[in-house]
Chain A
Amino acid sequence: MTDTTVTRTPEVPVRERADVRRQVRLVVTLGLALALLLWFAVVIDDPTVSYVLGERVTREFQPQPFNGAIVSWAAVAVTGAALALAAVNRFPKGWLGGLLMVLVGLSFYLAFLVWAYADQTGSFSAAIANPIPGTIRVATPLVLGALAGCLCERAGVINIAIEGQFLAGAFFSSIFASVAYSSLVFIPVALCAPFGMLGGVLAGVLIAALLGLFALRYQVNQVVLGVVLTAFASGLTAFLLGQIPGDRKAELNDPEILQEIRIPGLADIPVLGEALFNQTILVYLMYASVALVTFLLFQTRWGLRVRAVGEHPKAADTVGIKVNRVRWQAVLLGGVFAGLGGAYYTVGSTGAFDRDVSAGTGFIALAAVIMGRWHPVGAAFAAVFFGFMLNLKTQLGFVDKLPTDLLGAAPYLATLIAVAGFVGRVRPPAADGVPYVKS
């Protein structure tokens, strides 16, 4: 009997085409970054900028001025070193290379901020603020949406309708929370907003049920279906919003919003604590959901079956697993998370529902699924990255250096570059989007 491993013949010492491409890509990217950084450093007249540790200037957090030139030139040095390594093809691979890329990205970000905040002409000069609290808030629905995407796609169902689930979730959580406050006497005021989340979950599951019905039962093309469901949810919520009479807005679409809950101890960690642990219940649910979905997918019987039907449904069928039943379960459970994500846009942040309140973030959550390589933890980190970009857009809105409209497009451009450039070759679940039909 032969051994289970094959004896491999030695490799031929040739330079792979893929290696050449990698070097070209690195040199071009780093070269562009270096050129921009040099420009950032050179055009600044007065390098003095100030920062605050809090999210905005308060009595507790006062602006601290510092010399930005140090940051600008340090970034040039880091990027220049990375470029030199790439030019002689000594750029490290594996985690070390990843670390170096993160370092370059971080220094680029800081130098860019220094450039953006230096030489301000406005009547008051803004300070660089702590981006973490805003990032976590904006990332919350993205993470929840990405988890929904992970669950569906791991089971082999493409879910483009996350945006639709967000909208339906947002609308119905507003309605539920408002009605609870104005009509349902048995619900205490403090629980009205969480009750709204329940409405969001139900709406998310409803859209998921439509997705399941058409994708699994009628085997409609899942990409087209997802786009149609999103358009449907957008139209439906806009229509229903229009049906609310002006004099009843307060009863139907003016919800209590979720209150921040401070976790003692953890919230006192400097810089990070306030951002991570003085948040609403929805944010804490988001943290827990990442762990829960990871656990479900990789440690339980159900998760093994979900991944099996997403990779090789016929293999699952031949061992007696009901493929479409498992897919239904995954799609519906995904609806719970996507609906919760939708709730963020009303009861989790601003209150009343407005037309297309989620503004396309459902599609960004989808991008996070891909960038996170269909792993819940990876997708969550990708979602946080995109949340960071969206938050950056808001923060830079206070600075007059960049045109607002261009800034508005920046997070989406970053999404595109990230998905195209940094993801590289990824392998989706083998049966993703393929209906299972018994032969």
Chain B
Amino acid sequence: MKLEIRGLTKRFGSFTANDHIDLTIEPGEIHCLLGENGAGKSTLMNMLYGLLEPTEGEVLLDGEPVTFETPGDAMAAGIGMVHQHFMLVPVFTVAENVMLGREQTRGAGLLDRKAAADLVRELSGRYHLAVNPDALVEDLPVGVQQRVEILKALAGGAQVLILDEPTAVLTPQEIDELMGIMRELKEQGTSIIFITHKLREVKAIGDRISVIRRGKVVGTAKPTASEAELAELMVGRSVNLTVDKAHVTSGTTVLEARNITVVDPRGHQVVKDVSFEARAGEVLGIAGVQGNGQTELIKSLLGLVRPDAGEIWLDGKDISKHGPLQSLEDGIGYIPEDRSHDGYVGSFSVRENLVLDLFRNDEFSSGLALKLDAIAANARDRIAEFDIRTESADSPVSSLSGGNQQKVVVAREFSRPLKVLIASQPTRGVDVGSIEFIHKRIIEERDRGTAVIIVSTELDEIFALSDRIAVMYDGRIVGTVSPDIKREDIGLMMAGAHEPVSGGAA
């Protein structure tokens, strides 16, 4: 099916999210849509899928203009979408999720679960997407959940498949598998729109590449274009893809985790006997696919979760029983992985958010009263220092872009003396300009002698920042390696393999 987009525009009030976008997706083509976070890719796709109503412009399928009021209309027309955040009901089985919305029945609205399971088996056989139709979705690893999403779209008869940032949650091996699936689908005639901000992937799989910046298509490229060219097209200026950092010799051990085990509320061991040390003036990267215990490990270091076993030592002191407040006083800085949840209070102003963990200090309060002048002065300094783009210090943080929100969090954490900095996904959902800036500041903090721990699921980030890399899989650190290890080897470790012989152990 040939999909044409002509002059599609979406305005939210005075803000234009999509500005006269023209695209043509040929049958059996993998069309990559490259753009930064907030460039307007998702808005465009939500219009294609009937989740948003276009302000102007039209969509044509095989030359016929179509309008979609609901996702149901889009599906009926043959458009399927795999959302970045999976649209699966976790407590349902695979078959139930696939059948939802177009249920097989034995008449009178009675569910025919067997027919649904058979359909899943048939489709998974035809497209080589191995899944068990009777498994509960919440028990499946993320990569398999994604297959369920793809199956769901195919079961709906999708001939154009939209994949929205599908690789963000996958291991390198799973990404390879996904690309295999995409090629398979393409051979069977399905067109694919592949949305991403990862240059490596568009070069690997794309037939054509369209680049979106600030809501406009700014150019198309061939997959043979270099990464630097693509990055420049995407960001609008030449970008430095590597982080400059001097090689340092690491100092003494600052933070030490000994045999940490954490059991989650469902009774599963999510961190298993983890020990590591973070040294002064060194960045320890914790790599791993999301959901392998990194979140719980970090929370236990901060006292947000009490580990079921193990000890945490900071500068020769046992801090295992310290809560979050004491951890702050101990000199641990924390950039949480979900900033909107743990990093700031969205309805509070930039000024207030910049002192969220500092207002107890004598500098910002005396007795019950806050020193508002000092807080305002602090905000002025931080906004200038960290180049936070905000209308004023009084604007609520929720009105800022993702990158600037993250800068508020980073600025706050960096405004007190730190012994340890723990940064979880420090650049998730952040534009390239801010990524450069945040990375630079983290390295500066390291050079000041702070022990830095970076948790990231993005291998590029791990490689760019780390002096040592610990890889987590299923709650364990399966190995600690030096950053000159090969990408494939670390990918294998992220899937559970132990330290490869070829990797230089650190």
Q: Which residue of A lies closest to B88 (CB)?
A: A315
B157 at the interface (CB under 8 A from A): no
Q: Which of A115-123, A201-209, A306-314, A381-389 contacts B (4 or more CB under 8 A)?
A: A306-314
Query: Number of residues in B with C-beta < 8 Å to the partner?
Result: 59
Contact A320 B130 (CB under 8 A): no
B125 at the interface (CB under 8 A from A): no
Closest B residue to A322 using CB positions: B70
> Contact mask B269-281 → A, CB, 8 Å, 1/0?
1001100000000
Say yes or no: A304 contacts B263, CB within 8 Å. no
- Given A3-B130, A4-B130, A7-B496, A308 and B105 contact (CB-CB distance below 8 Å): no
Q: How many angstroms from the CA of A4 to the CA of B173 in the assembled complex?
A: 14
Q: Is the CB of B89 within 8 A of A2?
A: no
Task: Report whether B49 and A318 are in contact in the complex, using a CB–CB cutoff of 8 Å.
Answer: yes
Cβ of B232 to closest chain A Cβ, rounded Å:
32
Dominant SS among interface residues on chain A: loop
Binds A, one of B137-145, B398-406, B462-470: B137-145
Chain A interface residues toward B at CB < 8 A = 1-4, 6-12, 14-18, 299-305, 307-308, 311-312, 314-322, 425, 430, 438-439
Please tell me if the beta carbons of B309 and A319 are within 8 angstroms of each other in the complex. no
Cα distance A321–B173 in the bound complex, in angstroms: 35
Residue pair B306, A17 in contact (C-beta under 8 Å): yes
User: B168 at the A/B interface (Cβ < 8 Å)?
Assistant: no
Q: Which residues of A contact B340 (CB under 8 A)?
A: none
- Return the chain B residue nearest A425 by Cβ: B265
User: Contacts A301-B109, A308-B92, A312-B89 hold; do A1 and B103 have CB atoms under 8 A apart?
Assistant: no
Most A-side CB within 10 Å, residue of B101, B308, B474, B475: B101
Contacts of B111 in A (CB 8 A): 299-301, 303-304
Q: Which residues of B contact A319 (CB under 8 A)?
A: 71-72, 75, 87, 100-102, 152, 156
Give the contacting residue for B263; candidates A16, A308, A321; CB below 8 A. A16
Cα-based distance from A302 to B100 in the complex (angstroms) = 10
Q: Decide if the interface of chain B is mainly helix, strand, loop or mixed.
A: loop
B131 within 8 A of A: yes
Taking a contact as CB atoms closer than 8 A, the residue among A4, A9, A303, A315 that contacts B475 in the complex is: A9
Are A11 and B71 touching (Cβ within 8 A)?
A: no
A8-B267 contact given A14-B309, A17-B306, CB 8 Å threshold: no
For A14, A17, A300, the residue with the greatest tally of chain B CB atoms inside 10 Å of its CB is: A14
Q: How far is the CA of A6 from the CA of B495 in the complex (A)?
A: 9
Q: List 7 A-B contacts (CB under 8 A).
A: A2-B177, A12-B273, A14-B263, A16-B308, A301-B105, A318-B87, A430-B91
Contact B101 A14 (CB under 8 A): no
The interface residues of chain A lying within 8 Å CB-to-CB of B180 are 1
| B151 part of interface (Cβ distance < 8 Å) | no
Candidates B73, B83, B131; contact of A4 at CB < 8 Å: B131
- Which 6 pairs, one residue from A and one from B, show the smallest C-beta to C-beta distance? A320-B72, A319-B101, A315-B87, A14-B309, A301-B103, A12-B273
Task: Tell whether B295 is near chain A: CB-to-CB under 8 Å.
Answer: no
Q: Is the CB of A1 within 8 A of B269?
A: no
Which residues of B sit under 8 angstroms from A425, Cβ to Cβ? 265
A1 touches B177 (CB 8 A): yes
Give complex CA distance A4, B136 in Å. Answer: 12
Which chain B positions have C-beta within 8 A of A11? 269, 272
A8:B75 contact, CB within 8 angstroms:
no
Residue of B with least CB distance to A16: B263
For residue B496, which residues in chain A have a CB less than 8 angstroms away from its CB? 6-7, 9
A11 to B293, CA, bound (A): 13
Note all chain A residues with C-beta closer than 8 A to B70.
Answer: 317, 320, 322
Contacts of A302 in B (CB 8 A): 109
Nearest Cβ on chain B to A91's Cβ, whole angstroms: 16
